[in-house]
A = this chain, B = another copy of it.
């Protein structure tokens, strides 16, 4: 007996192929009765809605690509290990490629998907805004890992797994406010950031507003264009700029742990102390912050869980040809020596 196709099901149900697809993918835009009817027919005819699984038999390539922005971020190393392990366990091949900050990740991915006949992609690190048109040109399922994004483009199999950057950043600001700080500076991403940087800033602003603390734009410093974003050097440069402004402040939230490390160094070189003169907090939970002197208060991201969930989502999309749900993990506030109670 020949294999039943999605076209057969559509014909049997008297609907179009796209409606069958909606039923399979549990799309909200379908009449529930129509959906149930289609799902019954699917069951009856034993149709397996899994083109990818069939593709697997046809092609030799079984490669998953990991595309990493900023490969030298220690943040990603433990995650790459998880991806590698899980991909091998599922007997797929693993392909790692670095993307420069000035490259368009979707363009790179589209080229690579064709060249390597990829089965799926994990984007790790920065992920910019892309048009629906661009996203649709990427014909393989993909997961964006550690970055939250709008997931509403249809006919495009993707999802994201991350922490709730806004909520976690708010939590960190809340903690500093709870320690008595009112004049809290922010060492931010670049001014035009529309990704993690923006979300973390929103969390910071939201915490201040909730406590009736006015936002002082002079206490927000943006990563200069000539600094790599999230780097130690950017933190060092931004903290120097902030101190030169001669504004009052008692605490600093850095957009990442590496930025916090750079900021601490600028404080020391200025002959001041952490936390006696300034409380400084980071974000990410890198091991480096534990070993720094003083140890640095930070939000720890559950990187291995995020990696595991990302790859699980990707395999789900490859096998079921439907979007996997986005997932947001909780971070953990690590209260350490770089922040202190005042007033």
Contacts and interface: CB of A to CB of B under 8 A. Distances in A.
Interface of A: 71-72, 74, 77-78, 80-81, 84, 94-98, 232-233, 236, 261-262, 264-265, 268, 287-288, 290-293
A287 B262 CA distance: 11
Nearest to A263: B291
Contacts of A261: 288, 291
B74 A72 contact: yes
A115 B287 CA distance: 36
Contacts of A81: 71-72, 98
B84 A98 contact: yes
A288 B78 CA distance: 18
Contacts of A265: 290-291, 293
24 contacts: A71-B77, A71-B80, A71-B81, A72-B81, A74-B74, A80-B98, A81-B98, A84-B97, A84-B98, A94-B97, A95-B95, A96-B96, A232-B287, A232-B288, A232-B291, A236-B291, A261-B291, A262-B291, A264-B291, A265-B291, A265-B293, A268-B293, A292-B292, A293-B293
Contacts of A293: 264-265, 268, 292-293
A72 B98 CA distance: 15
A292 to B, nearest CB: 7
Contacts of A268: 293
A264 B94 CA distance: 38
Contacts of A264: 291, 293
Given A72-B78, A84-B98, A265-B293, 7 more contacts: A71-B77, A72-B74, A81-B98, A233-B287, A261-B288, A265-B290, A292-B293
A111 to B, nearest CB: 12
A232 B289 CA distance: 11
